[in-house]
Amino acid sequence: MWYPAIVYVSLQVPYNKDKGTAMEVSYKKLWKILIDRDMKKKTVAAMLVMCMALSATACGGSDTKETKTETTQDTGDKKDSASSDKKTSASAVRLVSVSDVSKYVTIGEYKGLTLDRSSVTVTDDDVQAEIDYNLEENGTEVNDGTVEEGDSVTINFTGTIDGKEFDGGSAEDYDLVIGEGGMIDGFEDGIIGMKKGETKELDLTFPDDYYEESVAGKPVVFKVTLQKFTRPSELNDEWVAANTEYKTVDEYRAAVKKELEENETKSADYDLYSNAWSEVLANSEVKEYPEEDVDKAVEAYKKLNENYVKEAGMEMSDFLKAQGMSEEDYEEDCQQYAESKVEQNLIVQGIMDAEGLSLDDDDIQTLKDELLSEYGYESFDQLVAYYGEQEVNESLALMRVERFIVDNATVNETSATEADVANEDADPESEDTGVDAAEDTIEDNASEEDSSDTAEESEETASEDDVANEG
């Protein structure tokens, strides 16, 4: 199933996942804590949206820009009377404190671009994979019988090397799908045939190239207790009628395909708009940052960080210490964030001024509806109340500008299958570090815990999961 990209700007901004500030790396770890504590969806989403957005390295960053054909906002005699009329119709809502954006930024060409829109063709295999996932999620708990490949198990395990427990080698209520290959060789195979409540010792060996060097190549004994297990349901008309709004397998399969196709369309559109903005951003250059705007952005970012860290049950000082960040590192990160945020707002505002784009006309309602749908709010007032008027306006303005860029571009349509995309994304020359791989695993396998658990406890659980997992 396709899920919308997590990071949008204040609500929605293009973000280069391959780069990030120190705080962004730290927030990945905080993200695991929040998931484990089963915090409200909107809270978790807000943390990622607001704290990982608008990075200085987003889509190229200002340090590596090459200025190409440029267009400034000081239009003067170069604009005809029609352009002047556009300017006067611009929205009263402004993203920056300055009136003449051209004094602060040179905006790269944003009209007449050539862009690619790549969509993924949904195959029968994609449909079946989604159905299999739903069958697994709605599986039946097995009380009698033994574990088979494909079953979802919940286990407790303790790992020992030379008779001693080691950091990260144990976990409780750990969820695992047998056969997915998420654990070291032999671990999942060893659980096959176990009964509910049974305890078993697995004599295994960590791979020589295991990311955690302290255990790589070493023999290990895992004592595993099977808490419970479920088996995927069988796909038939009865199951469809009981678990979906459809009556037959054929109806259900057609609906799944339609949903996947709609999601792929949304994904392709999002990438198109994001890439359009990235190109303009990469070819723009800030001359000077408005001090007032930067100061406000720094202040807002710090307050935001403090709130989200507090929601995780931590103090900011403790969080920074745990991540190995000094106060100086944090201040630098905040400044970097603020300058990126202001840079984006300057460019967006400049384009809106030049083209007479507004946040008050009828066209903006479509964008508002998109935000409401994406974040699950019933009214726009609720959205503003939660995220803040400034952040919402920034999101709408960027969305408006992205669409203007695309509407004035030549768009080449391409298509591929999920398998093609997976092959293209696979880079044999790059490997996740142990930390990155572990983080991916945690996000996939994070278990739900009681909301009363402390952030520290959740973090420990995450660490426990890491070592047994191949990443």
Q: Do 62 and 112 belong to one domain?
A: yes
In which band, very low, low, confident or very high, does the pLDDT at 426 lie, cut at 50, 70 and 90?
low
40 shares its domain with 151? no
Residue 471 lies in a domain: no
> For the ranges 80-94, 144-158, 170-184, 313-327, which has the lowest average pLDDT?
80-94
Percentage of the residues of the chain whose pLDDT score is greater than 70? 69
Task: Please check whether residue 30 is in contact with residue 48, taking contact to mean a CB–CB distance below 8 angstroms.
Answer: no
For residues 105 and 75, state if they share a domain. Answer: yes
Structure tokens at 346: 């300057």
Asked if 38 contacts 448 with a C-beta cutoff of 8 angstroms, the reply is yes
* pLDDT (0 to 100) of residue 311: 85
Cβ count within 10 A of residue 143: 10
Count: domains in the chain: 2
Residue 467 lies in a domain: no
Query: Do 317 and 409 sit in the same domain of this protein?
Result: yes
Cα(293)–Cα(281) distance, rounded to whole angstroms? 19
315 and 420 in a single domain? The answer is yes
Q: Are residues 265 and 387 in the same domain?
A: yes
pLDDT of 352 > 80? The answer is: yes
In a domain, 88, yes or no: yes
The mean pLDDT of 314-319, rounded to a whole number, is: 87
Q: Mention every residue, 6+ apart, whose C-beta is less than 8 A from residue 160.
A: 166, 169, 220, 221, 223
Tell me if the pTM is above 0.85: no
Kindly report the backbone phi and psi dihedral angles of residue 343, in degrees, each rounded to the nearest multiple of 5, phi listed first.
Answer: -55, -50
| pLDDT at residue 177 greater than cutoff 60 | yes
CA dist 141 and 143 (Å) reads: 6
Angle at 455 between CA 454 and CA 459, to 5 degrees: 120
> Scanning the structure block, which residue is given the tokens 């500008």?
401
Cβ neighbors of 297 (< 8 A, separation 6 or more) are: 337, 338, 339, 341, 342
> Which of the four pLDDT bands, split at 50, 70 and 90, describes residue 89?
very low
Q: What is the pLDDT of residue 290?
A: 95
Do residues 144 and 76 share a domain? no
Do 230 and 285 fall into the same domain? Answer: no
pLDDT for 99-111, tens place per residue? 999 999 999 999 9
* Residue 292, pLDDT score: 95
Decide if pLDDT at 470 tops 70.
Answer: no
Confidence of residue 421 (pLDDT cuts 50, 70, 90): low
The DSSP secondary structure of 406-436, one letter per residue, reads HHTSEEEEEEEEHHHHHHHH--TT----HHH
Q: Is residue 452 part of a domain?
A: no
56 within domain boundaries: yes
Residue 133 and residue 71 share a domain: no
Which CATH number do you get for residue 226?
3.10.50.40
| Residue 92 pLDDT > 60 | yes
The pLDDT value given to residue 75: 39
Structural contact between residues 18 and 430, judged by C-beta atoms closer than 8 angstroms: no
Domain that holds residue 144: 127-246
Task: Report if residue 199 sits inside a domain.
Answer: yes
Residue 312 makes CB contacts below 8 A (sequence gap 6+) with 30, 33, 34, 37, 319, 455
| Listed residue (243, 241, 224) closest to 232, CA to CA | 243
pLDDT band with cut points at 50, 70 and 90 for residue 390: confident
Residues 342 and 293: beta-carbon distance below 8 Å: yes
* Max avg pLDDT among 33-47, 53-67, 390-404: 390-404
Q: What average pLDDT score do residues 327-355 get?
A: 94
With both helix axes pointing from N to C terminus, report the angle between 22-36 and 434-445 in degrees, rounded to the nearest 10.
Answer: 30
pLDDT tens digits, one per residue of 129-168: 999 999 988 888 999 999 999 999 999 999 999 999 998 8
pLDDT band per the 50, 70, 90 thresholds, residue 9: very low
Check if the beta carbon of residue 400 is closer than 8 Å to that of residue 352: yes
pLDDT band at 278 (very low <50, low <70, confident <90, very high): very high
The pLDDT value given to residue 385:
87
Q: Which residue has the higher pLDDT, 323 or 468?
A: 323
Task: For the chain, state the CA radius of gyration.
Answer: 25
- Does 140 share its domain with 242? yes
CA distance 216 to 214: 6
Assess if residue 264 is contained within a domain.
yes
Q: Give the 3-state secondary structure of residue 339.
A: helix
Is the pLDDT score of 200 beyond 50? yes
Same domain flag for 239 and 264:
no
**Pairing relationship of beta strands 114-121 and 410-417 according to DSSP bridges:** parallel
What does the pLDDT average to over 231-254? 95
The pLDDT score that the predictor gives to residue 6 is 25
State the Cα–Cα distance between residues 334 and 27, nearest whole angstrom: 13
Place of tokens 């008027």: 389
**Of the candidates 246, 269, 301, which is a domain's last residue?**
246
Which DSSP string corresponds to 373-400?
HHHT-SSHHHHHHHH-HHHHHHHHHHHH
Using an 8 Å Cβ cutoff, are 349 and 95 in contact? yes
Q: Is residue 266 part of a domain?
A: yes
Are the C-beta atoms of 257 and 122 separated by less than 8 Å? yes
Closest C-alpha among 136, 160, 313, 144 to residue 223: 160
Instruction: Give the mean model confidence (pLDDT) for residues 11-22.
Output: 36
The angle that helices 327-355 and 249-282 make with each other, rounded to 10 degrees, is: 90
What average pLDDT does the structure give for the chain? Answer: 75
Which pLDDT tens digit goes with each residue over 65-75? 333 334 444 43
Residue 275's φ and ψ, nearest 5 degrees, are -70, -35
Q: Does residue 90 have a pLDDT over 70? A: no
Instruction: Give the Cα separation of 337 and 61 in Å (integer).
Output: 11
pLDDT of res. 425: 55
Tokens of 419: 């398998």
Amino acid at 40: K
The domain boundary residue, chosen from 197, 216, 246: 246
Are 261 and 364 members of one domain?
yes
Express each pLDDT in 435-465 by its tens digit: 232 233 223 333 333 434 434 444 443 344 4
The residue from 425, 444, 464 where one domain ends is 425
> So what's the pLDDT on residue 420?
66
| CA 272/CA 146 separation, integer angstroms | 49
The mean per-residue pLDDT over the stretch 385-409 comes to 91
The alpha carbon of 6 is separated from its chain's Cα centroid by a whole number of angstroms, namely 3
- H/E element, 444: helix 434-445
What share of the chain has pLDDT > 90, as a percent? 49
